[in-house]
Amino acid sequence: MSAEQTPSERKLAELIVESLNLEDIEPEEIEPEKPLFGDEYGLDSIDALELALAISKTYGVQLRADDEKNRHVFANLRSLNAHIESLSG
């Protein structure tokens, strides 16, 4: 593994696996700096919407669909976690 998950990244990885019903992936297998969408984990735009809803319920932060930063925010586990932490203070 190229980078280790922080405890908060691990919690987010667990949410991703659980909310998207990823049966072939364990939370610890989601590498913090690998792209979440595309070939590696097979996630698509529908998954992004489901994930945004799960994040909203769990962390109480809103990820807006029309935010131009979403491509960066959802780029990988690390950037998504950092964005959530910046919003939840």
Q: Which of 58, 86, 59, 60 is nearest to 72 (CA)?
A: 86
- pLDDT (average), residues 21-31: 95
Under 8 Å between Cβ of 12 and 81: yes
Res 1 pLDDT > 50? no
pLDDT tens digits, 30-78: 999 999 998 889 899 899 999 999 999 999 998 887 888 988 999 999 9
- pLDDT (average), residues 1-14: 90
Q: Length of the chain, please?
A: 89
Q: Reduced to 3 states, what is the DSSP secondary structure of residue 4?
A: coil
> What is 7-88's CATH topology?
1.10.1200
Sign of the dihedral through C-alpha 79, 33, 75, 45: negative
pLDDT recorded at residue 68: 87
